[in-house]
Amino acid sequence: DAGVIQSPRHEVTEMGQEVTLRCKPISGHDYLFWYRQTMMRGLELLIYFNNNVPIDDSGMPEDRFSAKMPNASFSTLKIQPSEPRDSAVYFCASSLAAQQARFFGPGTRLTVL
């Protein structure tokens, strides 16, 4: 099992640029989650999907953030335009069911200059 796959692993961009983060969940997992981790705020849930449908996006900080899941094996998190305060590690995670553990990908470290 390859686990959750994320790309890119590192992204450095300039303020105002569009950033797209990608995720492939574990095959067979019905839930996909996007988290953001910073020193100040810890791990925060941004949005989650069930069977490719967005269920709760209340954690998405602003309209600059959007997420899609066009099929069961792929999701994107887009930030447009990016700002320095978006700098963080973004994790994608998946799980088999709502009450079960989330399995995390390696994360994307985003730096916005």
Partner 1 sequence: QKEVEQNSGPLSVPEGAIASLNCTYSDRGSQSFFWYRQYSGKSPELIMSIYSNGDKEDGRFTAQLNKASQYVSLLIRDSQPSDSATYLCAAISGGYNKLIFGAGTRLAVHP
Would you tell me which residues interact with partner 1 (CB under 8 A)?
A: 33, 42-43, 45, 48, 55-56, 91, 98-107
- As given in the structure block, the two tokens for residue 29 are 């997992």
Minimum Å gap between C-beta 73 and partner 1 is 19
CB 91 within 8 A of CB 34: yes
Identify which of residues 65 and 90 has a Cβ nearer to partner 1 in the complex.
90
Shortest separation between residue 41's beta carbon and partner 1, angstroms:
9
Q: Smaller CB distance to partner 1: residue 97 or 113?
A: 97
Pick the closer one to partner 1 by CB: 2 or 101: 101
- Tell me whether residue 51 or residue 100 sits nearer to partner 1 (CB atom): 100
Residue 101 CB, nearest approach to partner 1 (Å): 5
Query: 58-69 as b/e, with b when 16 or more CB fall inside 10 Å?
Result: eebeeeebebeb
Alpha-carbon distance of 32 to 49, in angstroms, equals: 5
Smallest gap, in angstroms, from Cβ of residue 104 to partner 1?
4
